[in-house]
Amino acid sequence: MKRLFIISSLLIFAFLLNANAQNNKKSNSAPQPKLEIVGGDTYDWGLVKYKDNPLKAVVIIKNTGDATLKITKVKPACGCTTAPLNKSTLEPGDTTAINITLRIGNRSSSVHKTVRIASNDPQNPNKILHLKCKIFFALEVTPTPYFTFNSMKVGREAKSVLKLKNNTKKTIKLSDIQIKPADMIINIKNGQKIKPGQSIEIAAKYKPKKPGYFNCSFRAKTSAKDMPSLYISGYGNVQESSIFNN
């Protein structure tokens, strides 16, 4: 009987000791802010088309902690993304909005961009918001979305070749072609048709007349509903030539 009394007393003492420790832990922990991205840390537009550019979204930030949350910086990882914040100080339970604008490139690909949200949240001072989408282009330009002219020299013809693919199930017609500079030669003519799934070569040729930086462009209207126009820029660096030296 005495032994049972001792065991019971020890159990009661252990219980009271643990309860006291838990109460001390609660009383000693200071209130803390907590930044939460409503809906999760990833915003995915899914499959988008060229005509949707730029992409827009509103992402909600909430303070789920029990102290004032102060957002000190919202920093996109690249210049193609902007993310202005409505307000930077949130009381417990308050929300604010980040207005996202993402400018997509001119080639089919999976896009993954990030936005860093810095705050006084002690558990996660640099929260990362992930932005994703898959871009579909009726006309896909590969291997790069621009003409690249290498080893350009005065008086010597330079050439850049790209592939143009029709990703739709309908024939696409090119019209109203505009070329800059006007004396650059392009093998694509007004009325050019590209069949469904077909890839054609688009070649640009130019004979520079003076040294310096060279840039060019090819623009055309298309019959594709989701891509009414096609634009391809180009660049190169022209060196002097001993043969054609002015």
| pLDDT tens-place string over residues 157-174 | 999 999 999 999 999 999
Nearest partner of 52 among 97, 99, 106, judged by Cα: 106
Q: What is the pLDDT of residues 173-204, one digit of tens each?
A: 999 999 999 999 999 999 999 999 999 999 99
Highest mean pLDDT out of 47-56, 138-147, 199-208: 199-208
Q: Are 165 and 143 in contact (CB under 8 A)?
A: no
Q: How far apart are CA 158 and CA 23, in angstroms?
A: 79
- CA angle 139/167/204 to nearest 5° reads 35
Give the fold, CATH level 3, of 139-239: Immunoglobulin-like (2.60.40)
| pLDDT tens-digit series, residues 53-95 | 899 999 999 999 999 999 999 999 988 888 899 999 999 999 9
CATH fold of 35-136: Immunoglobulin-like (2.60.40)
Break the chain into its structural domains and give their ranges.
35-136, 139-239
CATH topology match: 35-136 vs 139-239: yes
**What is the value of pTM for the model shown?**
0.66
Cα distance between residue 241 and residue 39, in whole Å: 60
